[in-house]
Amino acid sequence: MTAESTPGLGAAYAATASEAYRAALAVIESVEPRIADATRKELADQRDSLKLIASENYASPAVLLTMGTWFSDKYAEGTVGHRFYAACQNVDTVEALAAEHARELFGAPYAYVQPHSGIDANLVAYWAILATRVEAPGLAELGAKHINDLSEADWEGLRAKLGNQRLMGMSLDAGGHLTHGFRPNISGKMFHQRQYGTNPETGFIDYDAVAAAVREFKPLILVAGYSAYPRRVNFAKMREIADEVGATFMVDMAHFAGLVAGKVFTGDEDPVPHAHITTTTTHKSLRGPRGGLILATEEYAPAVDKGCPMVLGGPLSHVMAAKAVALAEARQPSFREYAQAVADNAQSLADGFVKRDAGLVTGGTDNHLVLLDVTSFGLTGRQAESALLDSGIVTNRNAIPADPNGAWYTSGIRFGSPALTSRGFGADDFDRVAELVVEVLKNTQPAAGPNGPSKAKYTLAEGTAERVHAAAAELLDANPLYPGLTL
């Protein structure tokens, strides 16, 4: 796997893309030079950092350039061929193509490409489920065709029902996401929520325990999917569990959509044939523009289609165009090589930690991410994250199951392989990354603050940051980001 064979990331378009960006930056420069400057610096910083943030990636110049057009200037509320605004024929072309690529790529009956982000996609999905399973039968029961025909008392009764439903998702410290029913997010205010966790001994999902919790709580919606669980999920089993209580089964594949698209996850591990609704971001392992996407069965399609204006503002047509380009890239055979390399590289990173005696949640990985338990180094996640950043290694701290340091300081560091794999990093490079991480953490000591022991302060042994920076630079130079692109 090299950057050359990552769809759209090789040097093939470098000369043309360089010209395009130079011209664009000159135009920006003439209006607000500080923005042109920050844009140049951002590329330099991305090129120079060992980016191991599991939710980030590098989109191709084709995807990025597609976002910078006049499609941004168009209002297009509604759906393809059915808009509340005039002159949407080209937006129709764009949205229809993006949806077609999504349906073909994931083998889904229906795709909705308007969500502006992953959170928006989940909100649209939740309201589509509520509309289908609570609002529509409620209307029928009252003998009404449209909500506007209801009396105020009947409408208030229906609103109370909509606000009185149950949702079950994976707990945050087991790797779930805020949008899966947690109080700081709107999903936690909309639903009565309960969580399923992981087995405290193994760290793996315990399907019998999930089934027992679901039988007891009887949620309207069962959510699977995660941001920090380093293992695969058996979606066929989860669907069976949902079916037992008549729950709608929703999968949020925001993190691992690239592994589904690239056919690393197939059969029981492919959520799309098992879920009623699958949501995702398009900018993580899928390597597209920043945005969201929903796949649904025919049953839920009509309600999802009303995402705008139900939840969303006018669609970002320029981003839908970029989604179409990214999905076209993901349909190329080489994307499967990329996705397999993402999984192989995560495996190599995990093996590299294990053989150097670093503790991993679940003892390893079989997806794109690795969760390092830094209590094995006597550190908090916050201390480890900062020491790694000082050494040029960009990660993020993350809670681990039953985290002794809570959700702010945490005890874990999350690593992901998608971004560096896009640059062409191979298994040996990821083993070297593990070596560098361990070197930094072994040389980091917790330090006290003015009021005694601190969960944030640390000292890094002299010379470590410089040494690791230099070693990281060697890896980065050997695997350049956007090879041949010059500004």
Ligand X SMILES: *Cc1c(COP(=O)(O)O)cnc(C)c1O
- Give the residue ranges of the annotated binding site: 172, 176-178, 298
Residue 66 or 179 with smaller CB distance to ligand X: 179
Please select the residue that binds ligand X; options are 60, 66, 79, 117, rule is CB under 6 A.
117
Report the candidate in 327, 328, 278, 281 with the shortest Cα–Cα distance to residue 304: 278
- Told to check if 396 binds ligand X by CB under 6 A, we report no
Q: What is the DSSP letter of 392?
A: T
Least Å distance, CB 54 to ligand X, is 9
Give the integer Cα–Cα distance in Å for 399 and 173. Answer: 5
- Told to check if 417 binds ligand X by CB under 6 A, we report no
- Told to check if 179 binds ligand X by CB under 6 A, we report yes
Residue 255 or 432 with smaller CB distance to ligand X: 255
Least Å distance, CB 371 to ligand X, is 14
Region near ligand X per CB under 6 A, out of 116-124, 301-309, 430-438, 454-462? 116-124
Region near ligand X per CB under 6 A, out of 67-75, 111-119, 201-209, 415-423? 111-119
Give the integer Cα–Cα distance in Å for 169 and 178. Answer: 10
Please select the residue that binds ligand X; options are 51, 101, 255, 455, rule is CB under 6 A.
255
Give the integer Cα–Cα distance in Å for 346 and 36. Answer: 35
455 is catalytic: no
Region near ligand X per CB under 6 A, out of 115-123, 164-172, 266-274, 341-349? 115-123
Give the integer Cα–Cα distance in Å for 339 and 341. Answer: 5
Please select the residue that binds ligand X; options are 3, 119, 326, 369, rule is CB under 6 A.
119
Which residues in 35-94 contact ligand X (CB under 6 A)? Answer: 55
Amino acid occupying residue 98: A
Least Å distance, CB 231 to ligand X, is 15
Residue 281 or 362 with smaller CB distance to ligand X: 281
In this structure, are residues 454 and 446 in contact, taking their beta carbons and an 8 Å threshold?
A: yes
Render the burial of 82-92: b for 16+ CB within 10 Å, e for the rest. Answer: ebeeeebeebb
Least Å distance, CB 168 to ligand X, is 15
Catalytic one among 284, 382, 414, 423? 284
Q: What is the SS3 assignment for 82?
A: strand
**Other CB atoms within 10 Å distance of the CB of residue 355:** 12
Catalytic one among 280, 281, 282, 365? 281
Which residues in 287-346 contact ligand X (CB under 6 A)? Answer: 292
Count, residues near ligand X per rule CB under 6 A:
13
- Told to check if 173 binds ligand X by CB under 6 A, we report no
Please select the residue that binds ligand X; options are 281, 362, 391, 421, rule is CB under 6 A.
281
- Told to check if 285 binds ligand X by CB under 6 A, we report no
Catalytic one among 75, 100, 194, 306? 75
In this structure, are residues 3 and 423 in contact, taking their beta carbons and an 8 Å threshold?
A: yes
Least Å distance, CB 295 to ligand X, is 14
Residue 101 or 180 with smaller CB distance to ligand X: 180
Q: What is the DSSP string of 133-202?
A: IIIHHHHHHTT-SSGGGS-HHHHHHHHHHHTTEEEEEE-GGGT--GGGT-TTSHHHHHEEEEEE---TTT
Give the integer Cα–Cα distance in Å for 276 and 261. Answer: 18
110 is catalytic: no
Residue 118 or 203 with smaller CB distance to ligand X: 118
Parallel/antiparallel/unpaired status of strands 277-281 and 82-83: unpaired
Region near ligand X per CB under 6 A, out of 126-134, 201-209, 251-259, 397-405? 251-259
- Answer positive or negative: Cα dihedral of 127, 278, 322, 320: negative
75 is catalytic: yes
- Told to check if 252 binds ligand X by CB under 6 A, we report yes
- Told to check if 225 binds ligand X by CB under 6 A, we report yes
List Cβ neighbours of 39 (8 Å cut-off, separation of 6 or more).
Answer: 25, 28
77 is catalytic: yes
Both tokens of 41, joined, read 């610096």
Report the candidate in 308, 261, 293, 303 with the shortest Cα–Cα distance to residue 113: 293
Please select the residue that binds ligand X; options are 177, 276, 432, 455, rule is CB under 6 A.
177
Give the integer Cα–Cα distance in Å for 383 and 377. Answer: 11
Catalytic one among 120, 173, 252, 373? 252
Q: Distance of alpha carbon 87 from its chain centroid, rounded? A: 33
Residues of this chain that bind ligand X (CB under 6 A): 55, 117-119, 177, 179, 225, 227, 252, 254-255, 281, 292
Instruction: Name the residues annotated as catalytic.
Output: 75, 77, 252, 281, 284, 290
